[in-house]
Each structure stands twice: as C-alpha cells, then as structure tokens.
Amino acid sequence: MIYREAGQFKDGYAADEQIFPIRQDRYGIVFILVLAFVGVPLIANDYWFSAILIPFLILSLAALGLNILTGYTGQLSLGTAGFMAVGAFAAFNFMLRVPGMPLLAAFILAGLTAAAVGVVFGLPSLRIKGFYLAVATLAAQFFIEWVLVKFPWFSNYNPSGVISAQPMEILGYAFDTPARKYMLTLCIVAVLALAAKNMARCETGRVWMAVRDMDIAAEVIGIPILKTKLLAFAVSSFYCGVAGALWAFAYLGAVEPAAFDLGRSFQILFMIILGGVGTVLGSFLGAAFIVLLPIFLNVFAHILLPGVSSSLLSNLELIVFGSFIIFFLIVEPHGLARLWQIGKEKLRLWPFPH
Amino acid sequence: MRKLTVGLKRAALCVAVGGMIGAAGPAFAAGEQFVPVPIYRVGPYAAGGTGIFGGMMDYMQMINARDGGVNGVKLTWEECETEYKNDRGVECYERLKKKGPTGATVFHPLSTGITYSVIERATADKIPVISMGYGRTDASDGRIFPYIFPLITNYWSQSTAKIKFIGQREGGMDKLKGKKLVNLYHGSAYGKETIPVLDIQAKKYGFEVTHIEVAHPGNEQQSQWLQIRQIKPDWVILRGWGVMNPTALKTAQKVGFPADKILGVWWSGAEEDVLPAGDAAKGYIASGFHPSGTDFPVIQDIQKLVYGGGKKGNMDDPRRVGTIYYNRGVIHGIITVEAIRTAQEKYGKKPLTGEQVRWGIENLNIDDKVLKRIGAYGLMPTLKVSCLDHEGGGGVKFQQWDGTKWVVISDWFQTDQSIVRPMIEDSAAKYAKEKNLAPRDCAKEAAAEGKKKS
C-alpha cells in the first residue's frame, strides 16, 4: 500500500524516462538529499563529520567506482586502492607543481590520471577473464604502490614518502572545518553518483551489462568489446581516483602509499559484494556496513559489556563483524540493496498480500 | 504494564546508547584530567599496543592510587581500538578529543602513520601530540610544529647513535670507510624515515649503504635475505616492527647471517620481537632508550599498588610487567604526568586544557633529581625540551639478547646533532613553505615569558 504506484500515470516519454519513475522514490530521494545537505549539517558535530560521514562518503564513491567495473561490466578488479592512490598523489602533485591550480580542476585531473592508468591496466581484460583478471589487476595494485614508493618525486622527496595535502580552497572560500569538508565531499559524491546512475540506465550502462552477461553474445550484436571494457575501466578508475584525492585532501590530510594497500582494495570489494553488485544504492549501503559497523561495535561493546576485559572486546568485535558478514551473505547473497528491493515489493502489497 | 516497562527500558537504553555515540560520552567529574588511549589490541602489532599502553595506563592508575592523581587532579582515560590503521586512528582521535572536563590533554598516536594524520588536526584543535621515539622527525623543530613532540630522540638522531655504535665496534669512526651496511626497512612511513640520514652519514664516513624494503607486515623475507647474502654486508640495520622482526632473525639464520651483526632499532628490540625467533635471536643487538626489568622503584610501586593483592591491572598477562614494551609505556606515563605537573606550576592545580599542557611539555625538564624523585633513575635518559628543540636530547643505549633477557651492553650514546639538526631545519622549513606557515620566534616568546614572571 505504501509503495503502490496505482494512479501514477505516465503521459509522455519524459515521464517514462525519469530516474525514479515511482513518486514515492522521488520523494524519498529528495528527502535523503535534503537530510544530507540541510539536516545533517544542522545536527551533526565535528566527530560525526570528520570521523564517520566523510570517510563513509569517500569510500562509497570508491565502491561506486568499483561497482561500475565489477558490478555493471563484470570485470573483477583488485586494483581499486591502487587507482585511489594514483588519484591522491596526482591531485597532490597537480596542486604542488602547477601554480594557481584550482582545487576542483586538480581533482578532475587526478581522476583523469587514474582513468589513464586504469585503461592501461584494463588492456589485459580483453584476453583474460574472471579470477585471472583479478590477478592481473592485483598486479596494478602492487605496481602502483611500488612506483609511488620507489620514486620520491611523487611525494615531493618527503623522507617518509608521506604527502600532506594542501589546504582546500575554491574561489577564495576555504574548506577548512569538518562541516565544510563534508559539504564539499557530499557535493562531489552526489554529482558523481547521479552521473553513475544515469550512465547505468543509458546506452553506456546497457552495453556494459551486455558485456557482463555474455561478452560473446554482446560482440555478435555489434558491441565493441575492447572499447566497452576500457571505457568501464576508465570511468571506474576516474571515480576511484577522485575518491583517493578526497581521502587525502578531505579526510586524512596526510597519506602514505601504504594507506592504499591491498587491504583497502579488498575492503572496497567486500563493500560492493555486501551492498549489492551492480547497484548504485548497494555501494552506499555496503560502505555504510563496512565503515560504520566496526566503529559502532567498538562504541557499543564498551557500553553493553562493562567490566569485560578490553582485549577480549577488541577480538570480539572482529568476530561479531565477521559473523554479520556471513549472516548477511547467507540471508541475501545479492546484497543489502536486494533486501531493500524485496522490502519495497512487500510494502507495495502490504497489508493485503493476497 | 509489562509492555510499558519493556518499552521504557528500551527507550532508556536508546537514550543511553545515543548519548554515548554523540560526543558527550560518559560523565567525568570536574577535577579530572583526561588522556585518550588509542590502543591496538588486535592485528600484527598488538604486542606493542597492549604492552606500551598497558604500561602507561598502569602508571596512571598507580599515580591515582598512590598520590591521588597529579596534585589532587585524578587522571582518567578511555581506550579506543585503532588496529594500527590510520583511518581508525583518526576516528579515535576525533572520538576522544573532547572527552573529559577539559578535553584530551595529550595524544599519543603510537603509530607514525597516525601521527602524520593528526598533525594538522591536533595543531588546529590545540592538543599536543607526543610521539616518543617515532613520528615525524622534522617536527623536532618546535618553531614550525608547536604542538608535536617527537620526544627523547627522533628517528634520525637515533640513526646517528647507531652509526656511532657500529663505528665503536669496528674500532673507530675512520674504520667505517669501505664498510657495507644494509638498511632492511619496514615498507611504511616509519620504515622509510631514516633513508636520507643514512645516505648522508654514508657520504660523511665513507661506508656503503643499501636500502632494502620489506612489505608490510613482513612475514616473508626470503628474497630480501638472499639479496643480503649476495651483498655480504658488515652490518644489517633492522628497521622492523611487529612480526617483521622475528621473521628477519629467523630468515637471517637460514641464510647464515650472524645475529650479532644485526642491529635493531628500538621498535625491533622487545622480548616479543626475539622470543618467537628462538635460537636465531641469540646475540642480536638492538638499541633502546630504556632497559627492561622491574628493579626500579616506580615499577615496584605499580606491582604493589596495581597488581598487589590479586588485583587486575591493565595487562592481561601480569608477567609482561617489566618487559621492554611495558617499561616504555611506563615512560610514556611518566612524561605525560610530568608534563601535566609542569603545566600545573604555571596554570594552577586544576584540570588543564591541551594548550596549557603543551606549555608543560615544552618546558619539561626531567633531570636526574626528578628521575630519583619519581623512582625512575636509570629507567630513562634525562630530558630537556625547549621551544626550539622538541626532541629533548635523550640518549641511546644498546642491548643484546642473551637467549633469555636483554642485557645492556653500552652506556648512553649521545646523538650527533651536527648531522641531524640542519636536516631537520631544512625539512621543517620546506614543510612550512608548502603549508604557508610562519615559524614562531622562540627568543621573543622567551622574553615575553620572562617579563611576565618579573
């Protein structure tokens, strides 16, 4: 009943082609955006901004990038963190070496640099598939980390190989407080998420999905496989690159290549598996699950189990976190986004399921 | 009715939990000084995290029990698990920075990576960061890093002491000419930090140094040690951390490299680093700024007041009291408490803000008299911090593992500031330029202080 679209008539192509064809979804998304842009800044404090919301948004963006490649195009990748590292170091170097470089331009250039690197490492995808491609992208992960460590030029000859991000400023407006950094991150993530949603439902996305579902069939009906796959690698790496730049500039402030290690790649891969492969919503849900759950467990554990030794609690957190992952994978192997979809269908009939 | 009580209980729980997640946190009494504890109890570096923070918390607990706090101001703390990860460390910093009546007093990141990530945040929040024996080396220049204190000795100073020690072992600094050294380092910000200073010393003394990286966490080093065997170095400097250290010692034994020619840094010289290596560790030398053991009045006080009578302290395994990591943690506690004490002399005996404690750290002067008063004579080097020098000029001792315990084999080695200081000032100046910072004028500040006093 709540979700019934009865009475919503589409009286033109434009209405039929909307991103959210159901009115309830439109209201929902407007509500979420208003909440994120207006509500959250009113109620959240610095801790929420700088320790929870910003990393959540940035990792959502990275998961979105990986979802374009793995979820929509079916190319398994373990190089996500490597592409993030390219983005972070590229943005740092553009800001450092080009006088008067605007921040957003540096982010875009960082994304494009990551895209270029992604295309290079995407080339083998024409010949290798599935797990073998995962191993090939693993090479990207290790190679990028090694290059950034090996050549001190990338970190401007810092003895520890750490880059410290320049202050963020757009047209004289400084993004220096957590709330402002949050707004900047939110704007970038919102725009890129909208772009991803649109890409997924227009020809680009259809072509990606055709390649994912069966690449030979896609080739037979005239889809250029190499171009499609490389485009997916480029777009995906662009997203990851921007996410990496934000990770350095808006979140940590100082990063070393080790912050983008294989563990991070796996973390992002788990986000999309748990959140929902091949959905935009899933990237956000998965990031929320992986980023926020350990923190909540850490906070809750000390409140709910007072007097239990801290080292037991720390290990317990990992165990509980692991069990949650297994639980959700058993209950819904298609991820949290699919749970939401099932919920929607149930709500459509509720309370008269017959 | 039952339903109502259940509902009420739930609501109460929600409110309680919601309050916890917000920055409010548990209630602290007004006369308390809060110290955050960003510990890591899980992961490959857990031995360091539990040992050092365990020692620090035990010391603070002992101060509360014995003296009723620092001049009557009780110390409180709260743990937060970082897993030695930068992003979790930042989360912990943000979570704990506003707790207590005056906010976080001083932050010990206990990770070079986390130190880098909080430098700007802490400077903006006016919370001093003590990175004792680790962290960003050029932060020793207090004119540019007012809130960061890489106390006792930073990585570069420590490296000069190590080369002096090798020189002494070889029979004089001139004998270093033509010698071959390998710097086997952990592939992280921490590991890489000494590469430039070793290169400069290599040029100065005429030895050859090869830098070989071990990727985090370092539990596989076969290829690195085969490379070392080809180079045939006179000494290997082991710049490891956590599980990398015993692996290095075991692999060295496998390729036939003598353990007494491996020189560890002080993050490679704890019991936890050598015990898993068993036999392979015998004869291995590591540097340190403090010995192990419980023969110090301060450690005995902890044993009596924190663990005595079957009480539980902050160590799961009380046998670890007196180990290297534990004693380092006690020194963390001592410096925290003495900094607060120093600041109290100026600002009064009440809970102080981070900004006030920063002054306390910068004017810290731990001489032999103070060490004797707190019962830590011989446990740590003397320390004198100033606006210009945020390191405090500590010394380095060398210790050898005899198969069962660490034996101190040298006196305090002084560091070579003629090499280190210009590098630090260069590097800090570069940072200031990148960030557009104006250095503080130490002479002017000192003059202003003097005027106020008279």
Nearest to B316 by CA among B49, B54, B43, B52: B54
**What is the pLDDT confidence band of residue A69, given thresholds at 50, 70 and 90?**
very high
Tokens at B145, concatenated: 């890093």
B113 touches A at CB < 8 Å: yes
**pLDDT number for residue A237:** 95
Residue range A181-199: average pLDDT? 94
Provide the number of structural domains found in chain A: 1
Q: How many CB atoms lie within 10 A of CB B5?
A: 9
Chain A residues touching residue B427 (CB < 8 angstroms): 159
Tokens at B198, concatenated: 């070793």
The answer to whether B187 contacts A149, with C-beta atoms less than 8 Å apart, is yes
Residues for chain B: how many in total? 454
Q: Over pLDDT 70: what percentage of chain A?
A: 99
Distance from CA of A281 to the nearest CA of B (A): 24
B187 touches A at CB < 8 Å: yes
Question: If contacts are CB pairs under 8 Å, which of residues 45-64 in chain B contact chain A?
Answer: 50
Distance from CA of B317 to the nearest CA of A (A): 11
The answer to whether A258 contacts B79, with C-beta atoms less than 8 Å apart, is no
Tokens at A27, concatenated: 């209201």
**pLDDT number for residue B3:** 47
Rounded CA separation B335/A271 (Å): 42
A79 touches B at CB < 8 Å: no
**What is the pLDDT confidence band of residue A195, given thresholds at 50, 70 and 90?**
very high
> Could you tell me which chain B residue has the CA closest to the CA of A97?
B434
Which 3 state secondary structure label does DSSP give A159?
coil
**pLDDT number for residue B22:** 39
Whether A81 is covered by a domain: the verdict is yes
Peptide bond into B297 cis (omega under 30): no
Location of each CATH 3.40.50.2300 domain in chain B: 27-155+293-393, 156-288+398-425
Residues for chain A: how many in total? 354
Q: What's the mean per-residue pLDDT of chain A? A: 88
pLDDT string in tens for chain B (454-residue length): 444 444 444 444 444 444 444 333 344 455 888 999 999 988 888 888 889 999 999 999 999 988 888 888 899 998 888 888 888 899 999 888 888 888 888 999 988 888 888 988 898 889 999 988 888 888 888 888 989 998 888 888 888 989 999 988 888 888 888 889 999 998 887 888 888 889 989 998 988 999 998 887 888 888 899 999 898 999 999 998 888 999 999 999 988 898 888 999 888 888 888 888 888 888 899 988 888 888 899 999 998 888 887 788 888 888 888 888 999 999 999 999 999 999 998 888 888 888 899 999 998 888 889 999 988 888 888 888 888 888 887 788 899 998 888 888 888 888 888 888 888 888 888 888 877 788 888 888 878 777 665 5
User: A89-93, A242-246, B188-192, B271-275: which range is least confident on average?
Assistant: B188-192
Residue in A45, A47, A160 to test binding to B, most B beta-carbons within 10 Å: A160
**pLDDT number for residue B23:** 38
Those residues with Cβ within 8 angstroms of residue A132's Cβ, 6 or more apart along the chain or in another chain: none
pTM: 0.85
**pLDDT number for residue A47:** 86
A353 touches B at CB < 8 Å: no
A52 touches B at CB < 8 Å: yes
**What is the pLDDT confidence band of residue A88, given thresholds at 50, 70 and 90?**
very high
Residue A100 has phi, psi (to 5 degrees) of 75, 20
**pLDDT number for residue A108:** 95
> Could you tell me which chain A residue has the CA closest to the CA of B96?
A47
Rounded CA separation A137/A142 (Å): 9
**pLDDT number for residue A170:** 87
Count A/B contacts: CB-CB distance under 8 Å: 111
Q: Is the pLDDT of residue A164 over 80?
A: yes
- pLDDT tens readout for residues A8-58: 888 888 888 888 888 888 888 999 999 999 988 888 888 888 888 999 999
Domain with A182, as residue range(s), is 44-260
Strand partners, B406: B401
The answer as to CATH 2.40.50.140 being correct for domain B156-288+398-425 is: no
A47 touches B at CB < 8 Å: yes
Those residues with Cβ within 8 angstroms of residue B354's Cβ, 6 or more apart along the chain or in another chain: B102, B103, B104, B105, B106, B125, B126, B127, B128
**pLDDT number for residue B420:** 85
Whether A12 is covered by a domain: the verdict is no
Nearest to B325 by CA among B372, B289, B374: B289
Those residues with Cβ within 8 angstroms of residue B96's Cβ, 6 or more apart along the chain or in another chain: B34, B36, B38, B78, B80, B104, B107
A352 or B269, which is more confident?
B269
The answer to whether A167 contacts B435, with C-beta atoms less than 8 Å apart, is yes
Whether A203 is covered by a domain: the verdict is yes
* Reduced 3-state DSSP string for chain B: CHHHHHHHHHHHHHHHHHHHHCCCCCCCCCCEEEEEECCCCCCCCHHHHHHHHHHHHHHHHHHHHHHCCECCEEEEEEECCCCCCHHHHHHHHHHHCCCCCCCECCECCCCHHHHHHHHHHHHHHCCCEECCCCCCHHHHECCCCCCEECCCCCHHHHHHHHHHHHHHHHCCHHHHCCCEEEEEEECCHHHHCCHHHHHHHHHHHCCEEEEEEECCCCCCCHHHHHHHHHHCCCEEEEECCCCHHHHHHHHHHHHCCCHHHEEECCCCCCHHHHHHHHHHHCCCEEEECCCCCCCCHHHHHHHHHCCHHHCCCCCCCHHHCCCHHHHHHHHHHHHHHHHHHHHHHHHCCCCCCHHHHHHHHHCCEECHHHHHHHCCECCECCEECCCCECCCCCCEEEEEECCCCEEECCCCECCCHHHHHHHHHHHHHHHHHHHCCCCCCHHHHHHHHHHHHC
CATH topology of domain B27-155+293-393: Rossmann fold (3.40.50)
> Could you tell me which chain A residue has the CA closest to the CA of B98?
A47
Nearest to B197 by CA among A136, A88, A28, A159: A159
Contact assessment for residue A283 and residue A82, using Cβ atoms and an 8 Å cutoff: no
Question: If contacts are CB pairs under 8 Å, which of residues 336-395 in chain B contact chain A?
Answer: none
Which 3 state secondary structure label does DSSP give A174?
strand
